[in-house]
């Protein structure tokens, strides 16, 4: 098992991440830290672990590039991708191994996780946020350590994406066969989504049901991050339409999902006062395909500021309980 840790300016918490990997009950064959051009003390943190960690510094190219470099360096048959700010319970790898050794021996596995804010693991797990019926509609069977999914998940994760990079463990041979991470998405939010789609086009797939991974969430602008993620996912789905063989049979679902994401992005862009983006998204969706609220936002986004303020003031007067955030959200 080769743990691949891409890192960029995470010296303050990288040591805790590496310690989690070393503390696994199921031992890691090697830990590889790929320093993605950090400007902090990343090298010194790694050096503090002596020969337990391999280290390579590269020019800053983004997480996909760093993960690919780490995978190329790896000498193990399995790859475990570990973001440099995340955490794992000591028996995560043991659960992965139990599932991987159970017929039909999945080559791609992922696990449940919890968000970690300011050092506190939140009670809700990612899997618990799935839409009603999501897991029940997937053909699978329970095994020691979790679940084995017996069908590709490509279609399923279009509407709900439960797979986070730090929960992924996979055969190196599968990584090589799907082509690794696509470097063109290195500066795209949700860049790992494209790689995940290619991986889950293959079955069986192993799932660690227990939330043994902690994904850190740092203080940030939630609206801006969510908007970037939605726009990134739309770009990736457009790419999938053109380049993924598995996408052909789900063309309708992908188009509907692109529209759903664009509509959500339009609402966030309007709330953030990014009216040029609102107009662009409205054109991409098609004005005739907009729902009533989105059509109003697109209309207001194309009007002068004075008119926009007057209309929003009228909406607040007619519907006094309506919350209007920055830029107005009718």
pLDDT tens digit sequence for 65-98: 999 999 999 999 999 999 999 999 999 999 999 9
* pLDDT band at residue 56 using 50, 70 and 90 as cut-offs: very high
* Residue 203 near residue 152 (C-beta atoms within 8 A): yes
Question: Residue 1's pLDDT is what?
Answer: 96
pLDDT tens digit sequence for 159-181: 899 999 999 999 999 999 999 99
Within the chain, residue ranges assigned H as helices are 11-22, 42-47, 63-73, 92-100, 156-159, 172-178, 192-199, 222-243, 251-271, 275-285, 292-301, 305-318
CATH architecture of 2-216: Alpha-Beta Complex (3.90)
Q: Is the pLDDT of residue 319 over 80?
A: no
CB neighbourhood size of 180 (10 A):
18
Mean pLDDT of all residues in 134-148: 96
Question: Residue 204's pLDDT is what?
Answer: 98
Distance from C-alpha of 165 to C-alpha of 251, rounded to nearest angstrom: 26
**Percent share of the chain, pLDDT over 70:** 93
Question: Residue 322's pLDDT is what?
Answer: 52
Question: Residue 287's pLDDT is what?
Answer: 86
For 200, phi then psi, to 5°, come to -85, 5
Question: Residue 304's pLDDT is what?
Answer: 87
Residue 239 Cα distances to 23, 155, 265, 313, angstroms: 39, 15, 18, 41
Question: Residue 257's pLDDT is what?
Answer: 95
Please, what is the angle between helix 251-271 and helix 292-301, to 10°? 50
The residue ranges of every structural domain in the chain are 2-216, 222-318
Do the bridges between strand 53-58 and strand 78-81 make them parallel or antiparallel, or are there none, so unpaired? unpaired
How many Cα atoms occupy the beta-carbon half-sphere of 44 within 13 Å?
Answer: 7
Position with higher pLDDT, 120 vs 222: 120
Distance from C-alpha of 259 to C-alpha of 255, rounded to nearest angstrom: 6
Question: Residue 258's pLDDT is what?
Answer: 96
Question: Residue 326's pLDDT is what?
Answer: 41
Mean pLDDT of all residues in 6-12: 96
Question: Residue 325's pLDDT is what?
Answer: 45
The reply to whether the predicted model has a pTM over 0.85 is: yes
Residues 6+ away with beta carbon under 8 Å from 33: 5, 7, 14, 18, 42, 46, 53, 54, 55, 56, 84
How many Cα atoms occupy the beta-carbon half-sphere of 329 within 13 Å?
Answer: 16
């Amino acid at each position: 098992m080769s743990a691949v840790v891409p890192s960029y300016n995470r010296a303050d918490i990288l040591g805790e991440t590496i310690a989690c990997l070393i503390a696994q009950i199921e031992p890691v064959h090697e830990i590889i830290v790929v320093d993605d051009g950090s400007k902090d003390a990343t090298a010194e943190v790694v050096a503090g672990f002596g020969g337990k960690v391999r280290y390579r510094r590269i020019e800053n190219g983004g997480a996909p590039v760093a993960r690919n470099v780490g995978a190329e360096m790896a000498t193990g048959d399995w790859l475990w991708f570990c973001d440099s700010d995340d955490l794992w319970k000591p028996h995560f790898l043991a659960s992965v191994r139990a599932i991987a050794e159970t017929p039909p021996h999945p080559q791609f596995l992922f696990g449940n996780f919890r968000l970690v804010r300011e050092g506190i693991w939140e009670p809700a797990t990612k899997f618990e946020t799935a839409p009603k019926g999501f897991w029940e509609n997937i053909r699978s069977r329970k095994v020691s350590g979790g679940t084995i999914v017996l069908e590709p998940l490509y279609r399923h994760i279009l509407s709900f994406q439960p797979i986070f990079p730090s929960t992924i463990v996979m055969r190196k041979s599968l990584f090589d066969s799907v082509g690794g991470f696509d470097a063109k998405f290195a500066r795209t939010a949700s860049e790992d989504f494209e790689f995940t789609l290619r991986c889950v086009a293959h079955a069986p797939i192993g799932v660690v049901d227990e939330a043994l991974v902690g994904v850190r969430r740092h203080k940030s602008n939630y609206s801006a991050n969510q908007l970037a993620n939605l726009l990134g996912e739309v770009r990736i789905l457009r790419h999938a339409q053109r380049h993924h063989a598995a996408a052909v049979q789900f063309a309708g679902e992908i188009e509907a999902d692109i529209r759903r994401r664009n509509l959500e992005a339009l609402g966030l862009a309007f709330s953030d006062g990014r009216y040029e983006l609102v107009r662009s998204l409205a054109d991409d969706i098609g004005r005739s395909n907009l729902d009533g609220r989105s059509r109003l936002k697109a209309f207001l986004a194309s009007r002068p500021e004075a008119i926009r303020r007057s209309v929003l003031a009228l909406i607040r007067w007619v519907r006094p309980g309506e919350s209007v955030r920055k830029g107005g959200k009718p």
